[in-house]
């Protein structure tokens, strides 16, 4: 089979007019090129379009491409809007007693030992971690929190819920924000000459 097809061959193969072929070219569905001074089309590309048309009707390939683009735009738009909402409606810092801090450390270690951490647990922690201020983070242990946040992030990235529902990507964003904040707390402590890590019992 020839690598290229002429305009007439393409119109016959697809069962459309030359005007429709021009529209396909303008919309990026087909690629037109010159071969020995003739206007030709890639046979493989034309056959792919024919297969998709037969399965999904006329302009099936166009709908596929538009669908992919729309899904990407919607996904990005959702992430931006949810992130803006989360940042603008940030809850006040948590006030923890010494007993609370011990309990949090114990719970972090318990969850860290789990083989798989479910999305609901990750979501809950992503909200709670963002409420911890510099002093509380140092009391709990910056190193412990850093390791824990990394583990939650990895589990979240692999979570089926994240792959299915783009709105849940906000949980990943929250964890990344907290990780950045932790790095800032450590830097402030170092520059201030204070102990930047609290050893975990």
Domains of the chain: 4-65 (1.10.1660.10), 90-191 (no CATH)
| pLDDT reported for residue 147 | 93
Per-residue confidence band for 197, with pLDDT thresholds at 50, 70 and 90: very low
Q: Kindly indicate the confidence band of residue 51, based on its pLDDT and cuts at 50, 70 and 90.
A: confident
Question: Is the alpha carbon torsion for 46, 51, 56, 57 positive or negative?
Answer: positive
pLDDT at 111: 92
How many whole angstroms separate alpha carbon 60 and alpha carbon 50? 9
Strand order in the sheet with 32-35: 4-6, 38-42, 32-35
Residue keyed to tokens 């946040």? 149
CA distance linking residue 3 with residue 117, whole number of Å: 52
Q: How far apart are CA 153 and CA 174, in angstroms?
A: 10
Distance CA 83, CA 192 (A): 31
What b/e string do you get for 160-169 counting C-beta neighbours within 10 Å, with b at 16 or more?
A: eebeeebebb
User: pLDDT tens digits for 25-49?
Assistant: 888 888 888 887 788 999 998 888 8
Q: What is the pTM of this model?
A: 0.53
Residue 9 confidence (pLDDT) above 60: yes
Residue 156, pLDDT above cutoff 80: yes
The pLDDT value given to residue 37: 76
Q: In this prediction, what percent of the chain has a pLDDT beyond 90? A: 15
Asked if pLDDT for residue 91 goes beyond 70, the answer is no
Helix, strand or coil, per DSSP, at residue 29: coil
**What pLDDT, on the 0 to 100 scale, is given for residue 140?**
92
pLDDT per position as a tens digit, 93-149: 778 889 999 999 999 999 999 888 988 899 889 888 888 888 889 899 989 999 999
Q: What's the pLDDT score for residue 148?
A: 94
């Amino acid at each position: 089979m020839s690598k290229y097809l002429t305009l007439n061959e393409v119109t016959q193969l697809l069962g459309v007019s030359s005007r429709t072929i021009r529209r396909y070219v303008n919309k990026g569905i087909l690629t037109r090129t010159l071969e020995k001074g003739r206007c030709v089309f890639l046979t493989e590309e034309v056959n792919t379009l024919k297969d998709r048309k037969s399965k999904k009707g006329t302009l099936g390939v166009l709908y596929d491409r538009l669908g992919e683009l729309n899904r990407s735009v919607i996904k990005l738009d959702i992430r931006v809007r949810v992130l803006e909402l989360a940042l603008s409606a940030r809850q006040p810092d948590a006030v923890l007693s010494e007993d609370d801090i011990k309990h949090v450390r114990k719970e972090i270690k318990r969850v860290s030992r789990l083989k798989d951490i479910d999305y609901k647990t990750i979501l809950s922690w992503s909200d709670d971690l963002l409420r911890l201020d510099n002093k509380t983070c140092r009391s709990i242990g910056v190193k412990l929190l850093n390791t824990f946040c990394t583990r939650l992030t990895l589990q979240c990235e692999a979570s089926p819920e994240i792959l299915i529902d783009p709105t849940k990507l906000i949980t990943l964003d929250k964890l990344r924000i907290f990780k950045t904040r932790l790095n800032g707390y450590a830097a402030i402590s170092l520059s201030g000459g204070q102990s930047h890590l609290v050893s975990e019992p």
